[in-house]
Amino acid sequence: MPDTKKFIENLSGAGKCIGVLTSGGDAQGMNAAVRAVVRMGIYVGAKVYFIHEGYQGMVDGGDNIKEASWESVSSMLQVGGTVIGSARCKDFRTHEGRLRAALNLVQRGITNLCVIGGDGSLTGANLFREEWSGLLDELVQSGEISEEASQIHSALHIVGMVGSIDNDFCGTDMTIGTDSALHRIIEVVDAIMTTAQSHQRTFVLEVMGRHCGYLALVSALACGADWVLIPEMPPKDGWEEQMCYKLSESRLRGSRLNIIIVAEGATDRHGNPISSNAVKELVVRCLGFDTRVTILGHVQRGGTPSAFDRILASRMGVEAVLALLEASPGTPACVVSLCGNQAVRVPLMECVQMTQEVQKAMDEKRFEEAVRLRGRSFENNLNTYKLLSHRKIDSELPHSSFNVAVLNVGAPAAGMNAAVRSAVRVGITEGHTMFAVSDGFEGFYKGQIKEIKWGDVGGWTGQGGSLLGTKRTLPAKHIDKIAEQMRIHNINALLVIGGFEAYLGLMELQAARSKHAELCVPMVMVPATVSNNIPGSDLSIGADTALNAITDTCDRIKQSASGTKRRVFIIETMGGYCGYLATVGGLAAGADAAYIYEEPFDIRELQSNVEHLTEKMKTSIQRGLVLRNENCSENYTTDFIYQLYNEEGKGVFDCRKNVLGHMQQGGAPSPFDRNFGTKIAAKAMQWISKKLKEFYREGRVFANTEDSACLLGMRRRALVFQPVIQLKDETDFVHRIPKEQWWLRLRPLMKILAKYKTSYDVSDSGQLEHIVRLRAKDISAI
């Protein structure tokens, strides 16, 4: 069978010219996308041009269209907004304006455009493409270009990337800038919560989102807001009384603050706007609570991009260049989008039409359909929020008579508390009695188990570390005592939130079922570890927060290195033997190299890295950043690499080293980890409820099948329950890592963007997926 693999080495951009522009509202991460397009374009031999000030620059021409160099995009990665400028352009809306733009492109030989913007910008680009041959004919007739030039530049290829903080574009799970905007919102909410608590205040926060409630909804989910108002799902008539009842009820249960989040485009069922001031006046009038309004405004667009946005934009930028290289005259304009953790290409106009359908459904008051059209990710966020925020009165709750225990195992990871809160509240809503186990399996065998109520987990989402307490102790040695505690407390199901020890622990509990009937209950594990080294899951709770900690520190270190010039920093990251943090952190921070266990290296590679940095010091970028995973090599330690670089770089650059250590496990969880932890734990609890019903026989729960001890992991595009026993073959138990890891495919990207020649398998790229198929595949996505 012929080898169908496709490699970057076989794709050439020689003779091609690519124009890159940012248009519409700015979004953090746009610069990372521009940097990736420029460097990937130059890497494959194409010429890349900056088009400054969006479409206005394309129309005006002149110095607005400049050739980009490798160095010209240095230090852009960590800068918010867009360095090449963006402008709303009236001229481009006119035929005359587009004619001038076409002339400016043809004069420079640009027939490939990479447009980073919202749906308006991308629709404009598509119209331009459709008119292209007609515009060239006009230019030939007026004598401004030759017939020959018209033939050479006969087709215009367009690839879009969506840069929008609102996440309002259908066809992609996340748009560039959304995660960073959530970071800004959550930073503000966390700060406001401390002052609100001091004065027993209610805060009404207004966030951006004129037509899309994504930011409001996800930030409400991430901070455990009491009420949220979004345009896609206006509240039912009589919501005012309901909201006030909810607020007063939470105060009666001992809460000292209330948070209400309002999207700027929120309306009631009849299309009347609901402003943040109107909500404040309502609370003051009905409840007399001390209430304040905070309008976040353009703060949400500002600041440095998050690690997620940098990686997303870098991956999309590289994919966009590949799409342009492979485009033929008949290829429709496409958008590079994200589905699960995969980059895919979707026809641009299908996405635009679907996005317009949402607005149409909202205008026609078909709100359920508007939510459905936004996609499964949005729908799941909304359903999870409803599940967690509206506590039913005890008489309304189903009563299951089942006891479910939840515990944290392994090292602390930011987002664990959000997962515990979610599990406890969903469990109570499902009618179970929830028990919290302190200090992992150690606390379990010592009997540190107590009932945990709805109000006990209030305010937990934003807390770092593990409030339940967590230990690395494994259960095997204490199995008799654990079984006894299960019997004493009549535990009918277990939810374990943790890292590799949790995975091993679940296997040990399952193996002991033959000796202890008490362990024959449904058990599920949710992965939570900064190392992201759990088989069966592409991502784990805590890894995103750790990546942001690494990226923030690297930004500061790069700044220091830029000031002193000719300096290389060696930075050691955590992760055990798993190189996820070093690799993905390296991609987000713009590192020159990242040493990991999974990709063995020798002295020759170290030497070539030193030579590469020596060459770099001759350019205008006189600094270097090298990441090293803590266990990447027994002998090439951080000290060894530091000393080697110091010696070999003598007279050219000097070296500094930095061990990041436990700061990677600490800090408030990122919005992604809060959200991921909340949704994955809610799904785990719903699975437990289903299994409890399934295994309830003759007055007791008895579960002894393989599929009653599962790991819930994110696989490519969906959350999947996998029996732990079946994951054994996928695990390297000696090094505590999965045998296959998806993120290794990102390593060539990091090398290319750092100017290394490398082999890059692009076989996964190139399939144009249709948005309807995406929806079908998205069925169980988070």
| Number of Cα atoms under 13 Å in the Cβ half of residue 100 | 14
CA 477 vs CA 6, 198, 405, 481, 592: distances in Å: 51, 46, 20, 9, 45
Pairwise CA distance, residues 49 & 17, whole Å: 7
Pairwise CA distance, residues 319 & 338, whole Å: 11
Taking the CB of residue 140, how many other CB atoms lie within 10 A of it? 16
Taking the CB of residue 530, how many other CB atoms lie within 10 A of it? 33
Structural contact between residues 416 and 386, judged by C-beta atoms closer than 8 angstroms: no
Spatial strand order in the sheet of 157-162? 65-67, 47-51, 17-22, 112-117, 157-162, 334-339, 342-347
Taking the CB of residue 22, how many other CB atoms lie within 10 A of it? 31
In the set 26, 119, 166, 544, the catalytic residue is 166
CA 262 vs CA 174, 183, 210, 301: distances in Å: 21, 17, 11, 17
Helix (H, G, I), strand (E, B) or coil at 659: strand
Q: State which amino acid sits at residue 378.
A: F
Q: Determine how β-strand 47-51 pairs with β-strand 17-22.
A: parallel
Q: What is the DSSP letter of 265?
A: T
Tell me whether residue 166 is one of the annotated catalytic residues. yes
Tokens representing residue 137 in the block: 């004919």
Pairwise CA distance, residues 716 & 742, whole Å: 9
Cα torsion 554, 555, 558, 559 to 10°: value is -150
Tokens representing residue 40 in the block: 């990937």
Helix or strand (DSSP H, E) at 451: strand 449-451
Active-site amino acid positions: 166
